[in-house]
Structure 1
């Protein structure tokens, strides 16, 4: 889910730039993970979204993936992970910690684009966020059950409101076209999603398409943010959530990917309590994370700022939000 965030800024087919947000679980935080299912090399066609009255049977690959992810979810929960408390007493933090967490999560990238793919490489970046209003929408693969579609649509709608309140930035959810598209797809649907990705993001680069359609079984969800040219302002985000997830893992993916799509692109092992941490401890956006969003969209910070430019402002904002605590 969160053990790797690709946060690179690159030109995509001379049309859009990838402001990387590929968040995925690249390794389990518990002993030996359940064996991932094998998939066939030939995907079946996946349309650009299913109508509510249409459901097709899941493929054998999807059924195997659902069984695998169910075992992973049980293993995580058995260790007390994927917690759903958002303001835990056992994880206090100070203004200084909040500021450092913000700098690491909002102003650093974990992966770089290189050689047509992505390489793990921590590097300083610039502050990136939306300037235009965010309009979220969701599309479902045809094998996603109707009850799950209703639950996910409701969850995303409610979460869009939470992101709006936390950030202070206009975020809405609707049934029409948007600039932040959430795709809930089962295994074969995702592997056949290239045509839909090219419709959603004209000029998308091949590396981004391949990263999504070729997702490893141990990567649970992804989100890519795109900007025009070399701009630090987001124009479009596409998030992909595996439809086979059990409920708690699926809502955890929704919370992290949509928050990262707001501009908090990196992870930090020191951030706690936070979903922007590879340890899988928390499943839902925490109070700490809401403060990070408030900081990201504070008008004293502007897209394109470097760490040196942003740091003194970030420290001031963090102190204000924490009531002057150090």
Structure 2
């Protein structure tokens, strides 16, 4: 099983810190209110998926597949491939967010059409996978720093609690997959519940590991991607390819992967491999200390410096170097905003212009635009934000999309385009309800971003 996840990438200047947790082998997601009756506009949801196809070479994808499928995040090796060999059925118990079942149906449709997996929703108690909506308090009682997680060979949280210290729920002792349970927070935002469904269901049926070297995948502890990507669907399609079977060794799978990937992803045959180096544990530990719970400010800053030193010593110029600068920027914002800005500029430089780091750049753009708005530079903020609105929509990140739109509304206000600003702000609220949940959370985000506008601060308009 995998650690209790994940680094939650912040959306704008003073949003809460990232929260990884101690390394375990239970696939989970780190924690994020359920809206009831609301005076805000109706919640918006995403319609047709627009996943971007993978842009990696098949040689790199084969290496990634093997490391994802045959290693737990703790570093423990798995001796065999385990998967479902029969059609997979999924049932839902408990009362989650109102959109949860619809989001689950959309996800199952994607798994059938994009990954070719025979999976469907059922009401039968004999379902292979049970998605149980329980309170966050119950989840944290089971795994204190998790928002959601998946466990083999159980069908309820009560069953897990009675078996948690036994080998029955050990992923490393699993020889085949027949019955699993995913625990989702019932009192979360719609987006948090959906993100949990994507991450935990993907691991319930597929690979259990995470790799920081993957720029365009939910199988990555940086938590940039929250819905399954084109890369992820290719990995899952290969995972269930008829040429593979339950119980195969790493070497047996490695022998068959080149032909599988050549058939499933012919575009990857002509791309040169990048062969990104493995991510050393010292960098992982430093990032988790810098952005996770339990450390004091001095320890966090020292860890972020260590992560940057490792990234530099390794000669990285990929997204991990960018994330190292982003982490440092986050930690410097309160104490040294100008130095933090420098780090965000460096993060954007290392994220580069690759198609598989588009979403990374959208996150950094939200930070840079916030600085521009604070300085009264409306045109600069609009130039930073405009290219990334469609990015947030493409990757179905309503929280990020709402944040970018609210920043755009403040920039439009600064530019004197008041009517347009009002329309953008109103349009953002439906996405904010999906992304942030309760009315108070949405209104808090509105106030947070409005405080960036120097005109509103000057005239006490907040």
Q: Aligned partners of 1:166 and 1:186: how far apart in 2?
A: 32
Q: Aligned partners of 1:107 and 1:241: how far apart in 2?
A: 26
In the TM superposition, residue 272 of structure 1 has moved relative to its aligned partner by 2.9
Q: Aligned partners of 1:284 and 1:65: how far apart in 2?
A: 16
Decide whether the 8 Å contact of 1:222 with 1:239 is kept in 2.
Answer: yes
In the TM superposition, residue 312 of structure 1 has moved relative to its aligned partner by 2.1
**Corresponding residue of 1:158:** 106
SS in 2 for 1:233: coil
SS in 1 for 2:77: strand
**Corresponding residue of 2:115:** 167
- Picking from 41, 60, 70, the partner of 1:107 is 70
Structure 2 gap ranges (5+): 20-30, 35-48, 155-166, 272-462
In the TM superposition, residue 233 of structure 1 has moved relative to its aligned partner by 2.0
**Corresponding residue of 2:130:** 181
**Corresponding residue of 1:287:** 230
In the TM superposition, residue 140 of structure 1 has moved relative to its aligned partner by 1.7
In the TM superposition, residue 189 of structure 1 has moved relative to its aligned partner by 4.5
In the TM superposition, residue 255 of structure 1 has moved relative to its aligned partner by 0.6
The Cα offsets for residues 131-178 of structure 1, whole Å up to 9 and x where unpaired, read as 12211011124xx5xxx23x1111112212222233333211023321
Structure 1 or 2: more helix by fraction: 2
SS in 2 for 1:132: coil
- Picking from 223, 231, 256, the partner of 2:150 is 223
Decide whether the 8 Å contact of 1:93 with 1:272 is kept in 2.
Answer: no
Q: Aligned partners of 1:318 and 1:234: how far apart in 2?
A: 24
Greater Cα offset, 168-177 or 302-311? 168-177
Q: Aligned partners of 1:152 and 1:234: how far apart in 2?
A: 24
Q: Does residue 266 of the first structure (1) align with residue 194 of the second (2)?
A: no
Change (3 A) 1:244 1:320: same
Decide whether the 8 Å contact of 2:139 with 2:148 is kept in 1.
Answer: no
The Cα offsets for residues 105-146 of structure 1, whole Å up to 9 and x where unpaired, read as 112222xxxxxxxxx3332431110012211011124xx5xx
- Picking from 265, 270, 289, the partner of 1:325 is 270
The residue correspondences of 1:293-308 to structure 2 (distance < 5 A) are: 293-308=236-251
The residue correspondences of 1:230-249 to structure 2 (distance < 5 A) are: 232-249=175-192
**Corresponding residue of 1:17:** none
Q: Which has the larger radius of gyration?
A: 2
- Picking from 69, 94, 97, the partner of 1:140 is 94
RMSD: 3.0
The residue correspondences of 1:192-207 to structure 2 (distance < 5 A) are: none
**Corresponding residue of 1:71:** none
**Corresponding residue of 2:275:** none
The Cα offsets for residues 72-131 of structure 1, whole Å up to 9 and x where unpaired, read as xxxxxxxxxxxx96317xx73111121111111112222xxxxxxxxx333243111001
Change (3 A) 1:286 1:27: closer
Q: Aligned partners of 2:15 and 2:115: how far apart in 1?
A: 38
The Cα offsets for residues 230-289 of structure 1, whole Å up to 9 and x where unpaired, read as 663211010011223322222111111111111221111122311111111111111111
TM, length-normalised to structure 2: 0.44
Structure 1 or 2: more strand by fraction: 1
